[in-house]
Amino acid sequence: MSDATTPRTDGHAARRRGTRAQVIEAAVRLVAERGFSATSVDDIALAAGVAKGSVYYNFTSKSEILEAALAEGSERLQTTINEARGDLRGREALSAVVGALLSSMQANPDFAKLMAAEVFRVEREWQETIGALRAVTIATFADVVGEISPGEDASLVGAATFGAVLVAGLEWLLFQPDRSVEDVRASVLRLTAGL
């Protein structure tokens, strides 16, 4: 018998969070492998190990699943980058944020593929979500570029640096997986030596 002052654990809410997480993880994996159009809600439900009705109980559409995946992944990525930068400035900050982005890509390769495919796309239902990721992440790179080279067009060079890390990271993960994150970071940083 439970005491009226003891908070009741809501098993339903915990199960719902677990189902949402399973669906998001399955959707990211499938969309990274096949693309958005080639992935159905049935495919996502099967890969998540849940009923199709459970998918629709948690999300109204496939687009909403992807938007949730991008929002959650973006938040984690930005937190990782901000923590890596900390109080660092200039080249030390650049090295830290490049390393953080590469490490995040290594830890979440499916999200990295999804991000690379969607970050520069326009006219998608989740454009606002991915636009926020792009803006905040590129702004971090632009701030660092501005510290290193105040006369540069920090916004454009920051975007170019972010893009270089993203492409180099995918090249590494997909085609050169034997390289270390430090090796890839050093290669990307050599590109920025002219700043």
Which CATH number fits the domain that encloses residue 163?
1.10.357.10
Full residue range of the structural domain in which residue 53 is found: 1-60
Interatomic CA distance for residues 184 and 89, integer angstroms: 21
50 shares its domain with 98:
no
Report the CATH number that the domain containing residue 10 is assigned in CATH.
1.10.10.60
**Co-location of 114 and 175 in the same domain:** yes
Three-class DSSP labels, 160-191: HHHHHHHHHHHHHHHHCCCCCHHHHHHHHHHH
- To the nearest 10 degrees (0 to 180), the angle between helices 154-175 and 181-191 is 150
Determine the pLDDT at residue 18.
Answer: 85
Q: Summarize the chain as % helix, strand, coil (round to 5).
A: 75, 0, 25
Q: Could you give the CA distance from residue 44 to residue 164 in angstroms, rounded to a whole number?
A: 31
Model pLDDT, residue 14: 64
How confident is the prediction for the chain on average, in pLDDT? 89
Verify that 39 and 85 share a domain, yes or no. Answer: no
Count of domains in the chain? 2
Q: Please tell me whether residues 76 and 160 are part of one structural domain.
A: yes
Provide the token pair at 90.
């200039």
Same domain, 89 and 177: yes
Least confident of 117-126, 146-155, 176-185: 117-126
Among 108, 105, 116, residue whose Cα is nearest residue 181: 105
pLDDT of residue 4: 52
Specify whether 56 is located in the same domain as 85. Answer: no
Q: Are residues 130 and 35 in the same domain?
A: no
Last residue within a domain, chosen from 18, 44, 60: 60
For residues 83 and 138, membership in a common domain is answered with: yes
Of 29, 60, 91, the domain-final residue: 60
Q: Is residue 125's pLDDT more than 80? A: no
Q: Work out the average pLDDT over 2-23.
A: 68
Give the burial string for 157-194 (b: 16+ CB within 10 Å, else e): bbbbbbebbbebbbebbeeeeeeeeeebbeebbeebee
Q: Does one domain contain both 85 and 111?
A: yes
Span 89-111, average pLDDT: 96
Q: Are residues 160 and 75 in the same domain?
A: yes
Q: How far apart are CA 86 and CA 96, in angstroms?
A: 9
Same domain, 23 and 110: no
- End of a domain among 60, 85, 100? 60
79 and 107 share a domain? yes
**pLDDT class for 1, splitting at 50, 70, 90?**
very low
Mean pLDDT value of segment 101-109? 96
